[in-house]
Structure 1
């Protein structure tokens, strides 16, 4: 497909199949479903507690020729691990968890590790929190580099005020953190689904981080109070109260092209991140997202 000239189109496995998010459940079976779909040439997996499951997953990924990324976000969130905690023991636990995630990612054949910052402490504590975050990231980057010089460590930009309430946070501050980290194996990830939560426009946000951007997510969010999808739940496109649809995905793709991310010189990671609701099937929600992405792509690259 034309899209694959510009993008390594991916899917976040643990979000599309949330029953696997805790590192357990039908990981192998659902990963195989993704691997059998030639639309995807990238998959982002999460923690897998069972070594035998990791072995089977590695076999699937190798056989299908899928590029692999590793998302440590569920591990950090579910265990309430904080890379910018002022409690040194807590911060060390978070750093150690990410180092272990690097090991697991390499075991699975992944080329990169994505994660998120810790909680926003409020205006009075942000400067110190950023310093701690930078130090934590540098430690993880140095460890990753010692294991594999080509392995990438990627900070995903989240919301600060609505749901996850992370330190990073606004795109401008993400850029400053990236500058301070100053590691060749480090980069940033932006996510369309987080932009409405940050009250940022695609082109403005992406211009801020273009120098460090090495991964992008496409998804939806909801700001309708009382909805089961409220906040950063990555609902399907078209859900009532959703913020993003074909028009917004088109705008995001156009912005990615304008900043030189989707330049056609090499295919860049562009991953769909959607999660089915309580009464929805993963297959239908994935098909929905593929249709939206393809329609938006046709408009953005017309």
Structure 2
């Protein structure tokens, strides 16, 4: 079987795997070291680290480990209720400033990409909201490029289940990306396997729609059957969580779709990053180990099916 690491860089969203760090506090350096020491991973996505000394230590760890670093501004926007498409201009400006702060820190930690999300889906005037979002992103891209070569990625989320974002539909995301690329050709979209069931889209449908604009990929799971379950919504439970949407076969289908559109392939080192989170008293380290096993199993399934086809 072909080595999956020859087809992609495997990454992980650090602040989701270790949710105690998502607000910028907690054992960020200690848990980043765990990931950097694991040679299964060559990519990591971090978010704000509030303590300047801890941030400098994390930077040294990431540099010495030779990691491809991404920065997640999603927690910054969500925690502060930032809305890049708000009809209230003051609120929209505040959201833009929040992401600009994330861009500053992304440069500080040596990140090559920064991810963010749209604001809430409005009850009316969706076209106006899309234009406001597009204007906000153009300004953010211009700000990022004024400081270096950081690339920005808009992550598509759910529009009716949990986050209820303006950009749920991947077709809608493509409309925005096409316009933003008139000012920044490096801008792209981030698609997350765990969001697709909430977006009511299959892997091949979503990835084919976004094939010319996808610049980052996440793999994870979601549970959407019972609102009383602690994993309900956009909580990224482990693969195969009871009653959930994504296990090995669905992960394999997503990988096949990534191969089909050319996002991954032999000699192609685009990042495919786990976004998984412990539920209840589950262990982060065990959830990470389980995710790695699931990816290996899914990759094996992809290649066995490819052999059978030919």
Q: What is the TM-score with the length of structure 2 in the denominator?
A: 0.95
Tell me, yes or no, if the aligned pair for 1:141 and 1:185 is still in contact at 8 Å: no
1:41 Cα deviation after fit: 0.0
Corresponding position of 2:109: 108
Q: Which runs of 5+ in 2 are unaligned?
A: 305-310
Give CA-to-partner distance per residue, 1:69-110, whole Å, 9 cap, x none: 000111100100000001111111111111111110110010
1:265 CA displacement: 3.9
In the alignment, is residue 231 of structure 1 matched against residue 230 of structure 2? no
Counterpart for residue 308 of structure 2? none
Structure 2 match to 1:132: 132
Offset at 1:239? 1.2
**CA shift digits 1:92-136 (9 cap, x unpaired):** 1111111111110110010010000000003x2210100000000
* Counterpart pick for 1:264 among 263, 266, 289: 266
Matched, 1:171 2:170: yes
| 1:292 equivalent in structure 2 | 294
Structure 1 residue ranges (4+ consecutive) displaced by more than 2 angstroms after TM superposition: 263-266
CA contact under 8 A between 1:116 and 1:156: conserved in structure 2?
yes
What root-mean-square deviation, in Å, do the aligned CA atoms of Structure 1 and Structure 2 show?
A: 1.0
Cα drift, residue 185 of structure 1: 2.4
Trace 1:1-302 onto structure 2 (pairs within 5 A). Answer: 2-122=3-123, 124-148=124-148, 150-182=149-181, 183-225=184-226, 226-302=228-304
- Measure, in 2, the Cα distance between the counterparts of 1:281 and 1:265: 34
**Whole-angstrom distance in 2 between the partners of 1:114 and 1:207:** 21
How far is 1:9 from its partner? 0.4
CA distance in 2, matches of 1:114, 1:299: 30
Contact 1:145-1:185 within 8 A present in 2 as well: no
- Secondary structure in structure 1 of the residue aligned to 2:104: helix
Q: TM-score, normalised to structure 1's length?
A: 0.98
CA distance in 1, matches of 2:92, 2:288: 36
Question: Structure 1 residue 263: deviation in Å?
Answer: 2.5
Count of aligned pairs between the two proteins? 300
Cα deviation code 1:116-164 (max 9, x no counterpart): 0000003x2210100000000000000111111x310000010000000
